[in-house]
Structure 1
Amino acid sequence: MKPLRTYVYIDGFNLYYGQVRGTPHKWLDLQAMCNAYLDPTKNSVLKIKYFTAHVVPRRGDPGQGTRQQTFLRALATFSSIEIILGHFLSHEVSMPLADGSGYARVIRTEEKKSDVNIAVHMLHDAFQNQYDLAVLVSNDSDLSEALRIVSTDLGKKVAILNPHKNPSRELKKYALFYKQLRISVLAKCQLPQTMRDSNGEFHKPPRW
């Protein structure tokens, strides 16, 4: 039997917060990660789509954006990886104080469009018959309707690689197979410390 033509859709922030935040394993080789979880005799990974947004550096961490840009530069060296960007939206909101004495005005920053972008790309690629199997790296239940349409209406197979501890039942019910990502595996799927592209040599950020 021929391997399934496979597209992988990675929710970058879901993966970051579910697995690598607070670890020394953020310099993640996405292609190696896919190879570790997807049997090459059954899956031919044709495309990896990575969905993220440019981070807004925190006041105490001005280098945050530079580190992310270096990581995206590393991913761009892979012909199989496509980076799709959303954006952050910051706005003032009123939040209750912990002691219940009143409210405070705070800045809330929210990442926008990644879940919409994932759903649109997954559906578009299915309509274009680009894949036999769509692998979603996320635990965001908002994507369940896209998975339902892809699997039920368009006749494509769907699989889940879950970055979080608790699986989404809404996603899992459409999956041909489900696997839990583990940091012990991701620790072995790291990019080289030094990389090169058309602009020259660059290195893994020290804090990554």
Structure 2
Amino acid sequence: MRTRVYIDGFNLYYGCLKGQPNKWLNVHALCCNLLPRNQIDRTRYFTAQVSSRPNDPDQATRQQTYFRALATVPEISIHLGHFLTHEVKMPDAAAWRAGNYLARTVIKTEEKGSDVNLATMLLVDAFDDLFDCAVIISNDSDLKGPIEQVRNRFGKTIGLLNPQRNVSQALRPLAHFIKPIRPGALANAQFAAGLTDAVGQFQKPASW
């Protein structure tokens, strides 16, 4: 079955990678291992470029190194959204519970564009009849609309590889099949510690 994979990078990261030892993940290999009968010709990875923070000055460098690793796999394409950082006023949680609604000014960072980019490419690829089966790695209920259209309007098979413990109740009825992403599958789909691209040799980030 002609298959394309659409990965919500932040949903994957916060669902099963953050704080775990398997971040050096070859996402295409992961999908091929979990779906050995499917012919996966494209794995689309949707994310946004992070900025280093005072408490983690190497964050952006690690991400760029990971992008280099993904780019060594011809079947993977990276689609970037962006971050918005701005000041907002929000109530202090402890004060709120005590009945004091005094707001504090905080820095809020929001990732923008990844879900819209994923939905757009999912629909465009379906319209162009580039797959028989679309596999989505996300548990975001905001994707219900485009997934519903791909299934009902274009007659495509929908699969979910779930990065979180529970499956979204909005997405569950739309899937022809659902598979969890377990730690063993992540461990079996890691890049080699050392890789080479057109620029030269590079290594897995030391903290990973």
Same fold (TM over 0.5): yes
Name the TM-score, length of structure 2 as normaliser.
0.95
The answer to whether the Cα contact below 8 Å between 2:119 and 2:143 also exists between their aligned partners in 1 is yes
Distance 1:35 1:123 in 2: 22
Q: Which runs of 4+ in 1 moved over 4 A?
A: none
Q: CA deviation at 1:172?
A: 1.4
Unaligned runs of 5+ in 1: none
Identity of aligned residues (%): 49
- Tell me which of 95, 108, 116 is aligned to 1:99: 95
Distance 1:68 1:21 in 2: 13
The residue identity in structure 2 corresponding to 1:84 is: H
Question: What is the match of residue 12 of structure 1?
Answer: 9
Indicate the SS of the match to 2:170: helix
User: Superposed, which structure 2 residues align to 1:62-141 within 5 Å?
Assistant: 62-97=57-92, 98-100=94-96, 101=100, 102-141=102-141
Is 1:53 equivalent to 2:52 in the alignment?
Answer: no
The residue identity in structure 2 corresponding to 1:28 is: L
Unaligned runs of 5+ in 2: none
Distance 2:199 2:15 in 1: 32
Distance 2:64 2:85 in 1: 20
Question: What is the match of residue 185 of structure 2?
Answer: 185
Indicate the SS of the match to 1:60: coil
The residue identity in structure 2 corresponding to 1:99 is: A
Question: What is the match of residue 156 of structure 1?
Answer: 156
Name the TM-score, length of structure 1 as normaliser.
0.95
Q: CA deviation at 1:127?
A: 0.3
Cα RMSD over matched residues?
Answer: 0.9
Q: CA deviation at 1:182?
A: 0.9
The answer to whether the Cα contact below 8 Å between 2:26 and 2:189 also exists between their aligned partners in 1 is yes
The answer to whether the Cα contact below 8 Å between 2:46 and 2:117 also exists between their aligned partners in 1 is yes
Question: What is the match of residue 197 of structure 1?
Answer: 197
Note the alpha carbon deviations across 1:29-78, whole angstroms, 9 max, x for none. Answer: 112201221023xx100100000000122221010000000000100011
The answer to whether the Cα contact below 8 Å between 2:65 and 2:205 also exists between their aligned partners in 1 is yes
Is 1:169 equivalent to 2:169 in the alignment?
Answer: yes
The answer to whether the Cα contact below 8 Å between 2:34 and 2:185 also exists between their aligned partners in 1 is no
Indicate the SS of the match to 1:168: coil
Q: CA deviation at 1:99?
A: 2.1
The residue identity in structure 2 corresponding to 1:7 is: R
